[in-house]
Amino acid sequence: MPKRTDIKTILIIGSGPIVIGQACEFDYSGTQAIKALRKEGYRIVLINSNPATIMTDPEFADATYIEPLVPEIIEKIIAKERPQAILPTLGGQTALNLAVALSEQGILEKYNVELIGAKLPAIKKAEDRRLFRKTMQEIGLDLPKSGYAYTIEESLKVADVIGFPLIIRPSFTLGGIGSGTVYSREDFMEAAATGIDASPINEILIEESVLGWKEFELEVMRDCADNCVVICSIENIDPMGVHTGDSITVAPAQTLTDREYQKMRDWAFKVIRAIGVDTGGSNIQFAVNPADGKLVVIEMNPRVSRSSALASKATGFPIAKIASLLAVGYRLDEIPNDITLKTPASFEPTIDYCVVKIPRFAFEKFTGADQTLNTAMKSVGEVMALGRTFKEAFQKAVRGLEVGRFGLGADGSLRDARIEKRWAAGGVTREELMKEITYNLRNPNCERIFNIRYALIFGMTAAEIHEISKIDPWFLQQIQEIVDWEPAIKKLFKLPRTEQRAFLFATKQLGFSDRQIAHLTGKEPAKIRALRKKLAVIPSYKLVDTCAAEFDACTPYFYSTYEEEDEVPVTARKKVMILGAGPNRIGQGIEFDYCCVHAVLALREEGYETIMVNCNPETVSTDYDISDRLYFEPLTAEDVLNIAEKEKPLGVVVQFGGQTPLNLTAAMHAAGVKILGTSPASIDKAEDRKQFSKILQKIKIPQPASGIALNFEEAKKIATKLTYPVMVRPSYVLGGRAMKIVYDDSMLCDYMAEAAEVSPGKPILVDKFLDNAIEIDVDAISDGDDVYIAGIMEHIEHAGIHSGDSACVMPPHTLSKTSIETIVKHTSNLARELQVKGLINIQFAIKDEVVYILEANPRASRTVPYVSKATGIPLAKIAAKIMLGKKLNKIFSKKILSGSVPHLKYTAVKEVVLPWTRFNNVDVLLGPEMKSTGEVMGIDTDYGRAFAKAQLAAGSVLPRNGAVLVSLGPQGKEEVLPIIRELLNLGFEMLATQHTAEFLESHNLPVKKVNKISEGRPNVIDLIKNRSVSLVLNTPSGKASRADGYHIRRSAVMNNIPMVTTLAAARVTVEGIKALRTNDWTVTSLQEYYKASKS
Amino acid sequence: MQKRCILALESGRIFIGNSFGYEGERDGEIVFNTSLSGYQEILTDPSYCGQIVCMTNPHIGNYGINPEDMESSRIHASGFVVKEASAIVSNWRSTESLSDFLSRNKVIGLEGIDTRALTRHIRQAGAMRAVISTTETNPKKLIEKAKKSRGLVGRDLVREVTCAEKYLFTHETAVPPQFSVALLDCGCKSNIARELAERGCAVTVFPATATAEDILAINPTGIMLSNGPGDPAAVTYVIETVKKLIAHIATKNQKLPLFGICLGHQMLGLALGAKTYKLKFGHRGANHPVKDLTTGAIEITSQNHGFCVDEKSLRNNDVAVTHCNLYDGTLEGIAHKHLPIFSVQYHPEASPGPHDASYLFGRFLKLMEK
């Protein structure tokens, strides 16, 4: 069937900010869709609130709206752009939910817009668990036993019928929020209450637990002629009970006979047909009882998903791209397979390697959070690895995680050392140790795989581990084979020369890294590398080709292995290698992938062959369509050097992938690989405090006073000299890890004690903290001579909150002309002094009109995509060209390069989103340690409106009226008064607990006193839960948060009530509310903004 | 300690790995199969007689061997080549490990070689003669042996795998038999008989040497030509039988359907006057898309064939092409325009592979109902 011609314009809905459960996989899928559909001649309108996406680059869609993802805004876009169709299956759960809302609110009917890909009934059948069950029962497929409930009483009745353990799943929540496994009646009540509360319709499904069953997923596609294919089967190593996003998964399925697999395949097709997904991809999850093979359907997603991104990268089959073409009427057999070019997409990929995905967690950021893995997703990113065998892929994946591990074990990691030391020192009995290990095997957690190794080493059998963990014996056997090989490696250098090569080759085939071999033999990794090269034990590279070599493949998508044949020829072109950012984590996410993709695109424009290296399957950068050559490899020195030695690029780009490639700079430099752009020496100068301070003194940029302390006494001395508050942090700081603002001696004492425990003997940096200073971020590009000031961002929060967690605004709105001039001067001087070639990000703080520098990073920053979107200037692209020798004066006019700051006719506000709802028992306060997972941008004609949009996009609806709960800490109370007066003038009512109420009354402000938690009910928390509060204004005390403050903040977050915790945010919130009350929302595309700016 | 095992090809390439399973020396045609699962069905499929099979999926043997997934009573392949044979089995139905199964069936297994390199070599150079050995350690000698080995072309392998005598296939089903199907066993996979039995057919299995008269003597309501190994052109006696059956249908009983699968399809083609040719490296796997030209629907099929009916040679105006392979455009199915005669090159009985084509058994049954 040819494509549809009755459709001219298609609206694509993105997935919004990165949150746990919805990451850059939807940028990947959306970008593919836009490219594919535009190529077919459709006009594409895109809405996505996330500026850090490739899809929102103005050249991708015809009209790009960075606007909040809410029905009322989308309606305005529909009214303006009049699309004939909406494709809602590429933007995750967010887009699907919006499609349902638009449909149910009659908006689609009003504007005569059709849903393509999945229609409303199909979405409902898949998403509404009750309808899903009914549909499955109608077609005769088994599911776990279950029942619905709306109250605790109903829940108990259902639970008694099903028995324990059981699973509670709230209806209509994302990524399993509020769901959990319950083992006993005692725990049931609370879990049921949490679930009912989490569901927007207060409904929970109580389900028979299939805990410990084998878990599988099939990625299925269907076209309009009812042709169905399976793209990939995925088997979870973690059995049922752990969210698939948090599970270690393997493709293809390893432990199913053909008979069982085909039954699953038949069922999958029955599901997609019965649910009625017309066209596109779906993900269907199954559980299999390992005792008798009983098969049950768990759930289906009628859209592309994280798993489909993984399946695409695992097989080479671009699910999202094909899904979009199917949505406009093509059939599978009418679309060519990109990889073979000769065969059609109507086939099932087969693979001749093993793929392992391991999730990456960020528990270290959320002290107190429960680290047990369950049905609610907690991981923030993932890594994928390919190898010819599971063992190889598994160890590659572990070292790709960048969690200080270079394989399953024996890599000299601190954690192994700690256990080994405790054991060797006799500080722990075997029984105690086994008890500890058993606990960690039984209760799924992110360290479980390492505990399997410990268990094996300390004498547990694979059968016992299976009994405890329910992990399939096949996987345990694979892990055992890895562990069993370790002792032999120790004897590597004692082997006769003639046997060394074969042994080393076999060792590498098991996925052991040079670091592991070095640790086991007591040598340096470099020595192992040298030996390998001498013995010609070097990796061979193989193709990902969808067909297990049955056909010739044209796509340059490679992975390393140790095999006889290297089938990847290198070209004679001039080439550049770009290192990606690895797995997403808090502090290093989509923004850096965005920069990497831009670097690739820019260098391709300049005629270079681009070689991308990355291991994150969610990203656009690992789409084989982006670079000339894609190596899907861990970002470790060993793996990257192997590629560099094979490809011999003229240089490598380390500026764009965040900290990950920067950490490899030294190793690359030492091995003679040229680092493009800013030199390693300059990077060192900026990172080394002493050298950096010297430079600042030389070019006269003030820096907050500071000192270095090894113990509390020294720290106290410094703090007394600097005067409190001070900022303390370990010297090896990454992404704000363990940074804290300290207000007095007792806090300092606590901190030093804690630091001594975490990293004994490491110095602690003590800086004067500039209280109530305004923080500024600057992104600039330098070619060593000229400097282009790309963006000056004013943080809305005061200094002291990690820049990645601060909302900020462009252009700055409170800075004096002099301050701006000083910032420009400092930036230019520093960039020149450091001989920056490429991007630099500098953080300044302004206090009492003095501009201090906080830190400088000569690399792409997290704000590059936001600045690029706000200004329309593609910073990363320009920077990439500069790194290859292009001059800024060929790109920008003299006037611009002389320091004039880009003039914007609009305001763009960046706001962050935080994963609080995912982690129970964690205070929701912002601080110097970054905790946000993603960002949104609000763009409008003035600050108030842009801010209100940013808030809306981040999921917080500013109220137009209602009651404000005020709770003030002891510091800066007076400054809040004007804000409260304004809110009162706007008609808001003030609520406060005793202390704050008395303070407000003493200033003659009307306030209604409410009970603290300890004062009886209804108390302040009840008011929040009942939504009698429409805004929370809580400025916590500088010191430890008080119990009430903590509970107020948590309940506000859990009940989605907007909350303001800083004065600056309070001021702009009032502006936002005012803007909201005067005018309705308007929508404008980026293309329109840029055009207006040029005129 | 595993024993060294060498695979030597007539092209001169050698692959050295470890043996698992039986030890000794065998020759055969080296082919690759891209199915991710189903090694037990593949090993026991009589069509692999005379062939050394390389699986492209690196991990083989994970779920062991069970009594139910047998496509015949023993292994027919001459050798088995994998990247890594699983040291343990993990499946509730498994009763035996792959290596024990190979040993018991006296079949040599080779593991630990670069199976992708082998596959690429076969793709480029074509399926070829090969020797697998754990006894000869000199690769050069083995290459010479490979060059001198028999190969497949012109060789009648059907006689080696067909049943000795006619018998009634027994299979417990819920449906009482309504039809009587004569199944000509040229190396039949059990699942063809099972599929028929489950749809209410009493299946009488005939040896390949049975004559048309033998077959018609049971007065069948349908005739099935099975799959089988090797070169169809070498099995002249079956082609003669098929010709007679067609003549019988055309002249005496136009309601008697005839359905051919794989080798059965090739022999039907030959009987209808077409020619067959050897494909460079064949089709072996579970992911080949085939288009049913009568409905436009696409089915993902299980395939195992090294020979193919030449579409250009099919000049019989009474025969229509019904199915075509979307990978390479080769002929996948034919049907007589006026008589209830049809055949497909691939495997509607699956096992291993997708069930997409099982509707063809339904078509066969519909014709019998008429």
pLDDT at A33 over 50: yes
B29 pLDDT band, cuts 50/70/90, is very high
> Where are the strands (E) in A377-491, listed by range?
381-387
Q: B63 to chain A: which residues are within 8 Å by CB?
A: 255-257
- Its ipTM equals 0.98
| pLDDT digits 0-9 by tens, B75-119 | 999 999 999 999 999 999 999 999 999 999 999 999 999 999 999
Mutate to test the interface with B, among A219, A257, A330 (most CBs of B within 10 A): A257
Cis peptide upstream of residue A634 (ω within 30 degrees of 0): no
For A425-434, A818-827, B103-112, B225-234, which range has the lowest pLDDT when averaged over its residues? A425-434
- What is the DSSP annotation of A966-1035? EEE-STTHHHHHHHHHHHHHTTPEEEE-HHHHHHHHHTT---EE-B-GGG-SSBHHHHHHTT--SEEEEE
A477 contact B CB<8A = yes
pLDDT at A1040 over 50: no
Q: Which residue of A has its CA nearest to B329?
A: A343
| pLDDT digits 0-9 by tens, A328-353 | 999 999 999 888 888 899 999 999 99
Residue B219 distance to chain A (closest CA, Å): 34
Q: Which residue of A has its CA nearest to B354?
A: A262
B117 and A563 within 8 Å at the Cβ level: the answer is yes
For A133-142, A169-178, A671-680, A899-908, which range has the lowest pLDDT when averaged over its residues? A169-178
Cis peptide upstream of residue A252 (ω within 30 degrees of 0): yes
B116 and A542 within 8 Å at the Cβ level: the answer is yes
pLDDT at position A1013 is 82
Residue A241 distance to chain B (closest CA, Å): 21
| Residue pairs spanning A and B at CB distance below 8 A | 160
Q: Average pLDDT for residues A865-883, to the nearest whole number?
A: 96
DSSP bridge pairs for A774: A798, A846
A549 and B87 within 8 Å at the Cβ level: the answer is no
**Whole-model pTM?**
0.95
Residue among A760, A601, A597, A735 nearest A663 (CA): A735
B124 pLDDT band, cuts 50/70/90, is very high
Q: Which residue of B has its CA nearest to A549?
A: B120
| pLDDT digits 0-9 by tens, A662-697 | 999 999 999 999 999 999 999 889 888 889 999 999
Q: Is the separation of the CB atoms in A991 and A1007 below 8 Å?
A: yes
B1 pLDDT band, cuts 50/70/90, is low
Measure CB to CB from residue B84 to each of A227, A389, A552 and give the nearest one. Answer: A389
Mutate to test the interface with A, among B18, B33, B36, B63 (most CBs of A within 10 A): B36
A258 and B352 within 8 Å at the Cβ level: the answer is yes
B347 in active site: yes
- What residues of chain A, 366 to 385, have a C-beta less than 8 Å from chain B? none
Q: What is the mean pLDDT of chain A?
A: 92
pLDDT at A1044 over 70: no
pLDDT at position A1095 is 64
Mutate to test the interface with A, among B83, B91, B324 (most CBs of A within 10 A): B91
Report DSSP state, residue B274. -
pLDDT at A175 over 70: no
pLDDT at A923 over 90: no
Q: What is the CATH number of domain B4-148?
A: 3.50.30.20
At A266, is the secondary structure helix, strand, or coil?
helix
A505 contact B CB<8A = no
| pLDDT digits 0-9 by tens, A205-250 | 898 889 899 999 999 999 999 999 999 999 999 999 899 999 999 9
Q: B327 to chain A: which residues are within 8 Å by CB?
A: 343, 347, 551
Q: Is the separation of the CB atoms in B169 and B192 below 8 Å?
A: no
Report DSSP state, residue B169. -
Going across the sheet that includes A575-579, the strands are A540-543, A557-561, A629-632, A609-614, A575-579, A651-653
AA letter at A221: M
- C-alpha neighbours within 13 Å on the C-beta side of residue A957: 15
Q: Which residue of A has its CA nearest to B82?
A: A352
A866 pLDDT band, cuts 50/70/90, is very high
B262 in active site: yes
Higher pLDDT, A1013 or A875: A875
Q: Which residue of A has its CA nearest to B119?
A: A549
| pLDDT digits 0-9 by tens, A255-276 | 999 999 999 999 999 999 999 9
Q: A339 to chain B: which residues are within 8 Å by CB?
A: none
Q: Which residue ranges does chain B devote to CATH 3.50.30.20?
A: 4-148
pLDDT at position A758 is 63
B298 and A547 within 8 Å at the Cβ level: the answer is no
Mutate to test the interface with A, among B298, B302, B356 (most CBs of A within 10 A): B298
B240 in active site: no
B58 and A353 within 8 Å at the Cβ level: the answer is yes
A733 pLDDT band, cuts 50/70/90, is low
pLDDT at position A900 is 73
A257 and B93 within 8 Å at the Cβ level: the answer is yes
Q: B324 to chain A: which residues are within 8 Å by CB?
A: none
CA distances, A726 to each of A686, A768, A849 (Å): 22, 5, 20
> Where are the strands (E) in A689-825, listed by range?
706-709, 726-730, 740-742, 764-768, 774-783, 787-798, 808-810
pLDDT at position A379 is 95
Q: A262 to chain B: which residues are within 8 Å by CB?
A: 350, 352-355
Q: Between the ranges A510-519, A761-770, A1086-1095, where is the mean pLDDT highest?
A: A510-519
Q: Which residue of B has its CA nearest to A565?
A: B117
Q: A355 to chain B: which residues are within 8 Å by CB?
A: none
Structure tokens at A641: 């050097």
Using CA atoms, how far apart are residues A203 and A196, in angstroms rounded to an integer?
5
pLDDT at position A1041 is 47
Q: Average pLDDT for residues B261-273, to the nearest whole number?
A: 97
B79-82/A146-149 β-pairing: unpaired
| pLDDT digits 0-9 by tens, A553-593 | 888 899 999 999 999 999 999 999 999 999 999 989 999 99
Q: B297 to chain A: which residues are within 8 Å by CB?
A: 225-227
| pLDDT digits 0-9 by tens, A292-306 | 999 999 999 999 999
Residue B28 distance to chain A (closest CA, Å): 20
Q: Average pLDDT for residues B153-157, to the nearest whole number?
A: 91
CATH superfamily of B158-369: Class I glutamine amidotransferase (GATase) domain (3.40.50.880)
A190 contact B CB<8A = no
Element (H, E) at A396: helix A390-400
The one catalytic residue in B5, B262, B308, B324 is B262
B36 and A252 within 8 Å at the Cβ level: the answer is yes
Q: Which residue of B has its CA nearest to A289?
A: B92
A270 contact B CB<8A = no
Residue B274 distance to chain A (closest CA, Å): 27
B114 and A563 within 8 Å at the Cβ level: the answer is yes
Measure CB to CB from residue B37 to each of A257, A290, A333 and give the nearest one. Answer: A257
pLDDT at B18 over 90: yes
Higher pLDDT, A3 or A1035: A3
Nearest 5°: phi and psi at B270? -60, -40
Structure tokens at B283: 């089709």
Q: What is the mean pLDDT of chain B?
A: 96
Structure tokens at A629: 């050559």
A252 contact B CB<8A = yes
Q: Which residue of B has its CA nearest to A543?
A: B116
Q: A220 to chain B: which residues are within 8 Å by CB?
A: none
Q: Which residue ranges does chain B devote to CATH 3.40.50.880?
A: 158-369
A429-438 contacts at long range (C-beta below 8 A, 24 or more positions apart): A430/A458, A430/A459, A433/A458, A434/A458, A434/A460, A438/A468
